[in-house]
Amino acid sequence: MRIEEEVKLDYKDVLICPKRSTLTSRKDVNLLRTFKFKHSKSEIEVLPIISANMDGTGTMRMAKAFFPYKMMTALHKHYTVAELKKFFDTIGEENSKYVFYTIGLSETDLEKLEEVIKKLKKDTIKNICIDVANGYTERFVDFVRKVRNKFPDKVIMAGNVVTPEMTEQLILSGADIIKVGIGPGSACLTRRVAGVGYPQLSAVIECADAAHGIGGRLCADGGCEVPGDIAKAIGGGADFVMLGGMFAGHTESEAKVYTKNGQKFIKFYGSSSEEAMNKHNGGISSYRASEGRVVEVLYRGPVEKEIQDILGGLRSACTYVGASELRELSKRTTFIRVNRQISTYWEK
């Protein structure tokens, strides 16, 4: 056993310091970024916000709402082959580049992906998200390598991890984007159930440095509660930010809206929750515990208002530090640590 004494930070532990700026208006900020990927060799212009691959956020309706903004969606993996074929046939070649097809580690997931690809026009599916709670197993590394060998031209996002060493390992094994975050999500209980995790901002900063050093990209996954947290993630070096809770509760969640005490709600739950495992796996296996929870989220109508709030917050953050483009934000960010008293007050 050993204890690492260095202070590690979450989003609430810092603020971004303002700097002198020549920008005259938020509207002058360009939020689009162009990325080239190490292994797939592809290039994309995108607004780098991704809706998480969860039942209530990684939906086809969410993806369609995001297309006009060039934002991305990682579809949850529970759609049928027929539903996926219809969706990709409908959205067209131009929009398919903003969608990640999600798989787990099972051969069934891989066979389903191959079946969907065969039913579509060539190169319709451009992005694959390999999603597991624990990205530290040799099996996961081997699986990433296997998927890369099968699909050399696809953009592969893989995770989740929180340390530089594993970030580098997964990139060298074939991943283009590393998904970083263990336990920070609003519907995740891993930190409480397993005692495992890493403060999210420090994980982003350290893993981004590792990823960029060898030509990879990083996606900060989880822990963002307000638009300012997204700015902090990008300021810390994240190329993409994946959001779950911030997009939950909207019409595009494809979930049932119900009334309770005169208010409308939607259920939002973690992928490792009892609710998700009962729905998709026939219950919780005897050897594991639920590491997610069910959250009752107030129904908030169409997601467009949330998108506008997020984009407005990012533009504002950029103007405060003098970044005319989103890609400049990390170079112009200086974080100020806030003391515990201020942090506690803020949380209230």
Any idea which residue has 């060493």 for tokens? Answer: 165
CA–CA gap between residue 36 and residue 8 (Å, rounded): 30
Burial class (CB in 10 A: 0-12, 13-18, 19+), 194: middle
Residue 297 CB-half CA count within 13 A: 26
The catalytically annotated residue of 188, 207, 219, 224 is: 188
Catalytic annotation present for 17: no
Catalytic residue annotation:
188
